[in-house]
């Protein structure tokens, strides 16, 4: 019996191990060798991306003359990936990293982004394919890719009935009945798509290949298919979004990954500790050094978030302040520290920083057009403290943040309910909940209008028109008043149609049985036949979960979850968004979250209003 394999210490933090997987037949035991090499000299290796899964039962592997054990998922992957003869050189985290050595794990995590960049291919192992469902799904995706290339790109926004008909026909041509639909659902329900580390592994990869059993397909074909499904809502009519399925959430993950690949230079931290460490691997070169000390499994989660926020703000980046407002103060003992582990639980349920999202209002609406799968960027962004420099200090054992800021106003009145996200239900196909959300939004719209027009009964027509414009601009986040009166009127007409027809339309669709042969893409978009309206309506998704508000000075805007009347509105110097602060008895403030206030989002308050800077201590 072979002795247990013992890991040799790596010579430096820039060295890695590569796995040479020896060839063998189906019945032969897996045999491999681990070879130490400098990362800078590593050539011609493939990186494996897979789900660890249940670690039991442990499976034996012969490694460099010794014996070790791995989990069933990795064992299956190596079994299928090895050649009949010869060797295959791989990087596989479970074997190439000494999992018992925390210091080595921390060191290797810092290299993972570069590892996947250097690998000739990334092999995405989805698992075995005993009933060949994955093979059938791959055939569908390849047929889709061929039709797309034959007929031209369909990645632009669908705007005419002919566009919808073409999209429908392509999907119907490649999906011939329930069997293939089931195969696609099974493919997108594979647990690999929910892994946190795939963000770093996939986004850094040069040539990702999706593998199931003995079959494979290029990642870009699967990605294009998924993005198209999500973009024109075909997944609803294919039945991919029925209750109890995870496929639509995984399709959403793929769509987000596609966007990250195109905008990775501005991607920020968003999830639990493993997700965070993975995303750190996507940081720009200038930020690898800044956040490198956080890539340590030994740091408790709460401490990790505090250190992240402190490092960012000490270097002049107040972005962490935009990450706190989905959580109540009760779960934020230090109110300026974002509990990033909880943010993932709120995704698609409550909003995440509408001014720091990748699809900000200025990117969507001001440009007035979209370019394929990713909104075109624009130089015009909200920045309430435009031109002001960040001044951040930390007091009392780094538990109190001291920043410079300017008091602007107080929240006087809020709507009784937060804005619902009916768009979420359109994407996940939950038609049965959309009806009530349309009703709730109408109630909130009426409340917000009532708040906006409070005490204007005796005012003249011109003043009421001004309030009407301010209300509309605040609702759709027109921060620099770029939209003309005709655009505002068009938006009001759109809202009227939604509120009066939306619930009835949704009720009808929810009662219909699913039949992919008679449902058309036009039916899916009955309420969105106007291109300009679609672009304006995208702003609605950015304020989901927020409360419409009016200030003591009559300003209109949006307040973060957990806000209340009396909360103070400050422009913190160096921050893009105004913030809501709640005074405490000890003279400090608690940070409630960000807010949107029409008329001060472009630095107007600091430029045109008399103000005094003060030091704000946030505990």
Tens of pLDDT along 204-216?
889 999 999 999 9
Q: Is residue 108 part of a domain?
A: yes
535 is a domain residue: yes
- Domain span at residue 67? 15-125
Whether residue 547 is contained in a domain is answered as yes
Q: Is residue 548 domain-resident?
A: yes
Which of these ranges, 18-32, 317-331, 492-506, 558-572, has the smallest mean pLDDT? 492-506
The CA distance from 352 to 612, in Å, is: 30
Domain boundary among 125, 145, 168: 125
Determine if the pTM surpasses 0.85.
Answer: no
Question: In angstroms, rounded to a whole number, what is the distance separating the alpha carbons of residues 541 and 351?
Answer: 9
Answer whether 231's CB lies under 8 Å from 259's CB: no
Q: What is the mean pLDDT of the chain?
A: 76
pLDDT tens, position by position, 342-359 = 554 443 333 333 333 333
Based on the domain organization, do 480 and 550 belong to the same domain?
yes
Helix and strand totals (H; E) in the chain: 23, 17
DSSP 157-215: PP-SHHHHHHHHHHHHHH--SHHHHHHHHHHHT-GGGG-STHHHHHHT-SSEEEEETTE
pLDDT-based confidence at 144, cuts 50/70/90? confident
367-380 pLDDT, tens digit each: 222 222 222 334 45
In percent, the amount of the chain with pLDDT more than 90 equals 36
Q: What is the pLDDT of residue 375?
A: 29
Domain identity same for 256 and 380: no
> Of 97, 125, 153, which marks where a domain is finished?
125
374 is a domain residue: yes
Domain assignment present for residue 77? The answer is yes
In a domain, 189, yes or no: yes
Count of CA atoms in the C-beta half-sphere (13 A) of 277: 21
- Based on the domain organization, do 119 and 138 belong to the same domain? no
Q: How far apart are CA 231 and CA 308, in angstroms?
A: 34
pLDDT over 80 at 48, yes or no: yes
Same domain for 233 and 93, yes or no, is no
Q: β-strand 392-395 against 59-63: which pairing, if any?
A: unpaired
495, pLDDT greater than 90: no
Among the listed residues 258, 241, 239, 221, the one whose alpha carbon sits nearest the alpha carbon of residue 175: 239
| Same domain (yes/no): 171, 23 | no
- Residue ending a domain, among 80, 97, 125, is 125
478 and 581 co-located in one domain: yes
Do 187 and 64 lie in a common domain? Answer: no
DSSP state of 393: E
Q: Are residues 380 and 505 both part of a single domain?
A: yes
Residues 318, 46: Cα–Cα separation, whole Å: 39
- How far is 551 from 287, CA to CA, in rounded Å? 38
Q: Do 391 and 244 share a structural domain?
A: no
């Amino acid at each position: 019996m072979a002795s247990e394999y013992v890991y040799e210490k790596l010579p430096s933090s820039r060295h890695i191990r590569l796995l040479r997987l020896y060839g063998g037949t189906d019945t032969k035991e897996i045999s491999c060798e681990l070879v130490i090499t400098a990362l800078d000299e590593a050539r011609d290796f493939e990186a494996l991306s897979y789900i660890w899964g249940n670690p039991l039962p442990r499976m034996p592997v012969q490694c460099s003359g010794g014996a070790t054990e791995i989990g069933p998922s990795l064992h299956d992957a190596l079994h299928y990936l090895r050649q009949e003869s010869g060797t295959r050189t791989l990087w596989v985290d479970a074997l190439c990293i000494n999992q018992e050595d925390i210091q080595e794990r921390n060191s290797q995590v810092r290299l993972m982004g570069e590892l996947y960049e250097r690998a000739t291919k990334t092999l995405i192992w989805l698992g075995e394919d005993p009933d060949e469902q994955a093979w059938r799904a791959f055939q569908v995706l390849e047929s889709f890719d061929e039709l797309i290339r034959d007929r031209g790109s369909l990645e632009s926004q669908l705007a005419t009935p002919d566009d919808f008909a073409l999209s429908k026909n392509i999907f119907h041509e490649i999906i011939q009945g329930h069997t293939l639909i089931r195969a696609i659902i099974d493919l997108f329900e594979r647990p690999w798509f929910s892994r946190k580390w795939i963000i770093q592994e996939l986004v850094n990869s040069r040539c990702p290949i999706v593998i199931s059993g003995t079959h494979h397909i290029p990642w870009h074909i699967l990605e294009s298919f998924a993005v198209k499904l999500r973009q024109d809502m075909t997944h609803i009519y294919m039945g991919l979004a029925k209750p109890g399925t995870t496929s639509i959430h995984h399709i959403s993950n793929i769509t987000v990954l596609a966007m990250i690949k195109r905008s990775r230079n501005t991607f920020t931290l968003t999830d639990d500790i493993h997700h965070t460490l993975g995303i750190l691997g996507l940081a720009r070169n200038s930020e690898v050094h800044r956040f490198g000390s956080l890539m340590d499994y030994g740091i408790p989660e709460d401490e990790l978030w505090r250190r992240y926020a402190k490092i960012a703000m000490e270097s002049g980046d107040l972005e962490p302040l935009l990450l706190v407002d989905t959580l109540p103060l009760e779960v934020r003992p230090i109110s300026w520290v974002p509990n990033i582990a909880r943010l993932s639980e709120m995704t698609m349920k409550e909003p995440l920083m509408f001014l720091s999202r990748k699809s900000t209002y200025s990117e969507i609406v001001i440009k007035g057009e979209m370019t394929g799968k990713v909104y075109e960027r624009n130089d015009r962004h909200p920045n309430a403290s435009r031109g002001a420099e960040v001044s951040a200090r930390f007091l009392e054992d780094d538990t109190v943040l001291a920043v410079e800021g300017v008091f602007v106003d107080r929240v006087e009145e809020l709507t009784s309910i937060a804005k619902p996200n009916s768009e979420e239900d359109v994407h996940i196909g939950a038609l049965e909940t959309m009806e009530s959300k349309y009703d709730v939004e109408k109630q909130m719209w009426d409340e917000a209008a009532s708040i906006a027009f409070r005490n204007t009964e005796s005012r003249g027509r011109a003043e009421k028109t001004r309030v009407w414009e301010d209300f509309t601009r605040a609702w759709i986040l027109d921060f620099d008043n770029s939209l003309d009166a005709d655009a505002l009127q068009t938006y009001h007409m759109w809202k009227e149609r939604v509120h009066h027809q939306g619930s009835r339309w949704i009720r009808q669709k929810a009662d219909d049985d699913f039949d992919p042969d008679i449902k058309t893409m036009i039916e899916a978009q009955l309420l969105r036949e106007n291109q300009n309206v679609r672009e304006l309506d995208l702003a609605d998704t950015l304020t989901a979960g927020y409360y419409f508000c009016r200030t003591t000075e009559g300003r209109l805007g949006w307040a973060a979850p957990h806000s209340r009347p009396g909360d103070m509105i400050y422009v913190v110097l160096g921050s893009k968004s105004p913030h809501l602060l709640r005074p405490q008895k000890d003279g400090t403030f608690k940070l409630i979250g960000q807010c949107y206030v029409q008329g001060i989002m472009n630095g107007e308050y600091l430029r045109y209003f008399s103000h005094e800077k003060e030091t704000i201590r946030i505990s």
